[in-house]
Amino acid sequence: MQTAQSMLQMCGLPRLEARMLLEYVLNKPREWLLAHDTEPLSPECAAQFLTLAAQRRQGIPMAHLMGWREFMGHRFAVTPAVLIPRPETELLVESVLDLLTNRNDPAVLDLGTGSGVVAISVALARPDVRVTATELSVEALTVAQRNAQSLGARVQWWQGSWFEALPPEGRFDVIVSNPPYIALGDAHLVQGDLRFEPVHALTDGADGLTALAQIVAGAGARLLSGGHLWLEHGYDQAETVTGMLKQAGFTFVHTRPDLAGVPRVTGGKWE
């Protein structure tokens, strides 16, 4: 007889991951599992759990096995077509929301929206904001649109490359992006979850700085006077991104660290 307790012990996964997969299979919250962990599992549930545990041991990301990831308190659908949302990207959303305090009828643009986490989180936190998002990948854009629909967020979507995706007249109070910033050949690309994520979401295929540079170069023409650009970047790219922003004419350029103390997002003001 298989019980939740015996499954958690014998599956060969870290306890937290095993528990999350079992909760997913049983479709029950943690409290239920704690109270019923010595009861027999149905053969179907046991088999499904063992299949998922085997896939996880092969490295398939938890977000792909479960089909979702939480971000800013919302549950976003995740498929192999999109970057798995990272907790550090919440700092980007918080930076945008801070800038929108006391602004009336503001417009925000999210470039390279992926699963839509940034655009949708802003739209849900501030339903008065006009949120626009662009994405090169048609498959990713479909995931983002589905997420917006299921979470009840209003976002205008455009498919295409960075600013080229937009109609010519659009101007914004805040532009935000978490672009692909890992250099081609970086060892992280062949480790952990990254092996299963779309390569175009992770790397620019060059030194990791070309997408950041393209966005900085194009932002001025799309920002309203007094508007801001905020970018997520790699742990060692803050100085370079700061230089790019200053050279392009941005003022009040500064970097914010993530919860681990890593310089993670840098932004500036367009006069």
Ligand X SMILES: C[S@@+](CC[C@H](N)C(=O)[O-])C[C@H]1O[C@@H](n2cnc3c(N)ncnc32)[C@H](O)[C@@H]1O
Q: Which residues between 54 and 113 bind ligand X (CB under 6 A)?
A: 83, 85, 89, 112-113
Length of the chain: 271
Comparison of 205 and 257: residue with beta carbon closer to ligand X: 205
Q: How far is the CB of 190 from ligand X (least distance, A)?
A: 17
Q: How far is the CB of 248 from ligand X (least distance, A)?
A: 18
Comparison of 121 and 242: residue with beta carbon closer to ligand X: 121
Question: Is 159 a residue that touches ligand X (CB under 6 A)?
Answer: no
Please give the size of the binding site for ligand X, defined by CB under 6 A. 21
Question: Is 266 a residue that touches ligand X (CB under 6 A)?
Answer: no
What is the signed CA dihedral for 56, 62, 63, 68, rounded to 10 degrees? 120
Comparison of 18 and 133: residue with beta carbon closer to ligand X: 133
Q: How far is the CB of 211 from ligand X (least distance, A)?
A: 6
Q: How far is the CB of 215 from ligand X (least distance, A)?
A: 9
Count Cα atoms within 13 angstroms, Cβ side, for 226.
5
Question: Is 237 a residue that touches ligand X (CB under 6 A)?
Answer: no
Comparison of 49 and 112: residue with beta carbon closer to ligand X: 112
Helix axes 138-151, 117-125, angle to 10 degrees: 20
Question: Is 146 a residue that touches ligand X (CB under 6 A)?
Answer: no
Residue whose C-alpha is closest to residue 111's, from 216, 244, 263, 194: 216
Question: Is 201 a residue that touches ligand X (CB under 6 A)?
Answer: yes
Distances (CA, A) of 226 to 99, 105, 133, 217: 11, 14, 20, 17
Q: How far is the CB of 250 from ligand X (least distance, A)?
A: 21
* Spatial contact of 111 and 177, defined as CB atoms under 8 Å apart: yes
Q: Is the dihedral of CA 221, 198, 210, 138 positive or negative?
A: negative
Comparison of 50 and 125: residue with beta carbon closer to ligand X: 125
Residue whose C-alpha is closest to residue 76's, from 63, 88, 94, 61: 63
First to last CA, the chain: 69
Question: Is 130 a residue that touches ligand X (CB under 6 A)?
Answer: no
* Spatial contact of 265 and 92, defined as CB atoms under 8 Å apart: yes
Q: Show the tokens assigned to 138.
A: 């048609």
Of the candidates 11, 62, 96, 136, which one interacts with ligand X according to CB under 6 A?
136
Q: How far is the CB of 196 from ligand X (least distance, A)?
A: 14
Q: Which residues bind ligand X (CB under 6 A)?
A: 83, 85, 89, 112-115, 117-118, 134-137, 140, 161-162, 178-180, 200-201
